[in-house]
Amino acid sequence: MSQVKINPYLYLPGNSEKAMNDYKDIFGGEIVNIQRYRDVPDMPSSEEDKDKILHGHLKVGDQAIYFSDFQNKPVTFGNQVSLTMEFTDVDAIEKVYNALAEGGEVLMPLQDTFWGAKYGKLTDRFGVNWDLHCQL
C-alpha cells in the first residue's frame, strides 16, 4: 500500500480567510495559497462572494489544512468530525489549547489523564472540533 497523507479540508460560512490567519498564528504555519472565486474564469459568483476563498492552503509543519467558503450553500456544523493534534511538548499544547478555546466552547478541559497524557477537547470559534493530545 502506498503512503497516504490525510489533510483536513474545512468548509466555512464566509470566514475562511480569518480562520486561516488565526490558525497560522496559533500553529506557527504559513499560508501557501489563496484562490478566490473572482480568480476562476467562467465561474459565476455574486459580487459579495467574489473575494471569498474558493481554495486556501495553510501549511503547518509538514501538514496541510485546506479551506473553502461555501458559495450559495449553507454550512452545517456537527460533531462528526474532529481534528486531532499530537504534541510532544506540554508548553506547546497549553498555548494552542488556550488560543483555540478563546471564543470557543470547551468540551473537556486540558488535563492530565488516566492514560498518561495531557488531553483536551474543544470546539473553536469557527465551529471546528479539536482533540489535543500530548503523551507525558
Phi, psi (rounded to 5 degrees) for 23: -65, -35
- For 79-109, the pLDDT digits (tens) are 667 898 889 999 999 999 999 999 999 999 9
- For 35-94, the pLDDT digits (tens) are 999 988 877 788 888 999 999 999 999 999 999 998 767 777 776 678 988 899 999 999
- Domains of the chain with CATH codes: 9-69 (3.30.720.100), 82-135 (3.10.180.10)
For residue 111, what is its C-alpha cell? 488535563
Cα radius of gyration rounded to whole Å, the chain: 16
* DSSP secondary structure, 39-78, as one string: GSTT----TTTTTSEEEEEEEETTEEEEEEE-SSS-----
pTM over 0.85: no
Asked if 31 and 58 count as a contact pair (C-beta separation under 8 A), the reply is yes
